[in-house]
Every structure is written in structure tokens, then in C-alpha cells.
Amino acid sequence: MAAQQPEANGEQRNRILGRGRFGLVFEGTWEETKVAVKRIEIERTNEREETALRQCDHPNVIKLLDIQDNIDFKYYVLEFCVASLDHLFSQETDPYRWPATQRDVCLQLAKGMAHIHEQRLIHRDVKPGNVLIWVDSTGERVLMKWADFDLSKPVSENGSHSISGSRGTEKWYAPEIYRMRMEEEENVANPIRPRGTVKSDVFSEGLVFGYYLLGGRHPYRGPNGPYDIPHNILNSIVNLNEIAQHPLYNIIMDMLENDPVERISSSQVVERISNI
């Protein structure tokens, strides 16, 4: 796609929006539009992320506007979003308010995730930090968008994929991912080759929904803080008591089903929220 090189000079150079595993995201301009520019060292370019961004075309998935490169870096030009979901509950910032109901926020995210899976992709790093919030110039229209596809992978027709390498962010893992890691550590001499499914994304999405409705608290956080989370996820010790009367409660509990076979699918999440 022919376009001008994304700019990040002067004041914008200091406007860093985020840092990832292999690059950083800063505010820039592209064709006179404010954008987010993800800069990655050329040797660390992730073809899977690029493929996923090109493949997904949905209002609730971050939109890729352009790709530029030079001898040192590749630049992904993306829609500019005002915040990520975890920033809403940061003590360092004032909560961002918008005219969207809790049901609408979760339904948008559910539709975005279903689209990702319909493209036969698994995200593999579903967490509040990878949910971005886009707001139009009037402040009246808000869209929730899934972002950061650097760990995404293609899946088979039945939604399964090989498990290898990085698998997301600890504390936001599905229980089957924790179990696979434990089995690998116990079988170093004879490593197993397990297969995962898109249902792991659904579990992590349920964590995100719970986190959002609980005002920034992880649904599996215990008395010892974040240290309890892996144990509680593995043993189905979830604390959603504060939202037990919420219309989304039963849906979230079905998303957090410990057994991925029994867990609902991303398309079922969309259907059930739509019917509320």
C-alpha cells in the first residue's frame, strides 16, 4: 500500500503508547490522521501478526491501515485508540467514561473474538491490556477492539492448533494451558506434543469480562493477591460473588468452565449476550 512514512517527531516522539515483546507503539501521523504506530526491528518481524491483521476486518478488531519499512524497522500503522481496558482501572489515571453499557462492551468484544475464530485464528494473548478503546471525535461512539496479534496462530477447521513457544501472559491463561506447561516440565526427556483449541481464548475472554465487571479485579485473585491466581484457575476457585446477580454472570461462568470440551464457544457467547 503506497503511503507516506508514518511520522513520529517532535513532541510525538515522547508519546509512547505501549511496549511489546519486540517493539514499541507510539503516537504518530499518517495521511494527516492521528494513528498508533507499532515499530518492530526488521529481524524480529512477525509474519503471523501481519497475516492476522490483514485477515481480520471487523469493527471490534484493531484495523491495520498501512505497513512501511526501512533498513532497520518495520512500521505497522494502526487505528489510534484512547486507552486500553486495564488503563481504566489504573490508579495513575482517571477512569475513562463513555456512553456504553456493560452489556454492549462485552457484546462488542464477543463479536470481535468470534470474528477472529471465524478466520481460523487463535489470539493466544487475551488480556485487558490487549483490549483497546476507540472513541470518535464527538465522544458519542465507542468501539472495543482486540489488539496485539504477535502470538496469534492459524488453527485447523475444528479450531485446534499445535502448542509450542510462548502462549500468552501468565495469570490470563486458561487452565489447560497451565496443565500443559506442568506436563512439559515433568516430561523434559520425552516432551509431549499437545494440541490446544480456540476455547482457551474463550476462557481468557471470560477473565477479561469478569475483570471489567469487577472494576479491575481478577476473577481468580485470592487473599494472597496475584500469587493465588494460577492455583485458583487450576482448581476452579473463582470469585464472582459481587456480580452474581448480573445478567452476564451465567455466561461468564460458562466461559470459565475448567474443561474446554464443556466450555461454550465464542459464537455461543455472542448469541447469549445478544439475547439478554
3-state helix, strand, coil in the chain (%, to 5): 35, 20, 45
**Of residues 28 and 116, more confidently modeled:** 116
Contact 172, 233 (CB under 8 A): no
Please state the rounded mean pLDDT for residues 232-248: 97
The domain of 25 spans 10-79
The answer to whether residues 198 and 147 belong to one domain is yes
63 annotated as a binding-site residue: no
The answer to whether residues 106 and 223 belong to one domain is yes
31-61 residue pLDDT tens: 888 999 999 888 888 788 899 999 999 999 9
The answer to whether residues 73 and 163 belong to one domain is no
Q: What are phi and psi for residue 202, nearest 5 degrees?
A: -65, -40
**pLDDT at 208 (0 to 100):** 98
**Of residues 45 and 95, more confidently modeled:** 45
156-191 residue pLDDT tens: 766 555 566 556 788 999 999 988 877 766 665 565
The answer to whether residues 133 and 68 belong to one domain is no
The answer to whether residues 49 and 120 belong to one domain is no
Element (H, E) at 36: strand 33-41
DSSP string, 124-170: ---SGGGEEEEE-TTS--EEEEE---TT-EE--TTSEEE--S--S-T
The answer to whether residues 187 and 150 belong to one domain is yes
CATH number for the domain harbouring residue 20: 3.30.200.20
Average model confidence (pLDDT) for the chain? Answer: 86
**Of residues 119 and 90, more confidently modeled:** 119
The answer to whether residues 265 and 206 belong to one domain is yes
**pLDDT at 163 (0 to 100):** 63
**pLDDT at 166 (0 to 100):** 52
